[in-house]
């Protein structure tokens, strides 16, 4: 497993304030708790400062409670000594739930694991598909562009004033007087 650290068991916070946090279990003992000095700090007021510890043995991952007030629970059973972890186990510390994933013995195929395969940091660029014409009547033909044509200026023509008929109301002119 030293040559493939991604095969080490993985603990992921599945429930609680730090949901999504993951860490790999190594051969050294890792203390889990809420104290800032522990190896894995979990922000949960229901955890002890040094709540539990986890490490990797020759047989797999192991878990032990460190005398916590609220206890360490493995698959809804409070543990008192050292317990061996298996893929799919659920660990509860305070109000935080951890899920065990062991890729070395997993019953499910993890997404994204490939060893000694070329990396695909970039996706290949594919051409966009061409738009297909919609079925139905043909669109109207395009109107060709017309060059600008000079249009002669229109000149104002004076119209003689006509006297109003007797009894008619004179029109109000807006022209200046």
Q: Which pLDDT score, from 0 to 100, does residue 150 have?
A: 57
Q: Which pLDDT score, from 0 to 100, does residue 6 have?
A: 75
Contact 130, 33 (CB under 8 A): no
Q: Which pLDDT score, from 0 to 100, does residue 156 have?
A: 56
Confidence of residue 33 (pLDDT cuts 50, 70, 90): very high
Q: Which pLDDT score, from 0 to 100, does residue 102 have?
A: 83
- What domains lie within the chain, and their CATH numbers? 10-103 (2.60.200.20)
Confidence of residue 63 (pLDDT cuts 50, 70, 90): very high
Angstrom distance (rounded) from CA 73 to CA 83: 10
Q: What is the pLDDT of residues 108-123, one digit of tens each?
A: 444 434 444 444 444 5
Across 29-147, where does the E strand assignment appear?
30-33, 40-41, 52-57, 60-65, 72-74, 77-78, 83-84, 90-93, 96-101
């Amino acid at each position: 497993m030293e040559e493939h650290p991604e095969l080490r068991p993985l603990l992921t916070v599945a429930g609680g304030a730090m949901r999504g946090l993951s860490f790999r279990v190594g051969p050294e003992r890792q203390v889990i708790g809420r104290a800032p000095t522990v190896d894995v700090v979990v922000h949960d007021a229901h955890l002890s400062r040094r709540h539990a510890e986890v490490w990797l043995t020759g047989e797999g991952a192991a878990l032990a409670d460190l005398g916590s007030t609220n206890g360490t629970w493995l698959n809804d059973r409070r543990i008192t000594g050292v317990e061996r972890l298996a893929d799919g186990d659920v660990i509860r510390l305070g109000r935080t739930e951890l899920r065990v994933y062991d890729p070395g013995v997993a019953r499910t195929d993890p997404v994204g694991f490939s060893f000694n395969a070329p990396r695909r940091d970039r996706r290949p660029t594919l051409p966009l598909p061409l738009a297909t014409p919609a079925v139905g009547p043909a669109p109207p033909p395009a109107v060709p562009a017309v060059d600008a044509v000079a249009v002669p200026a229109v000149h104002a023509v004076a119209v003689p004033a006509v006297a109003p008929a007797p009894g008619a109301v004179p029109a109000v002119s807006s022209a200046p007087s």
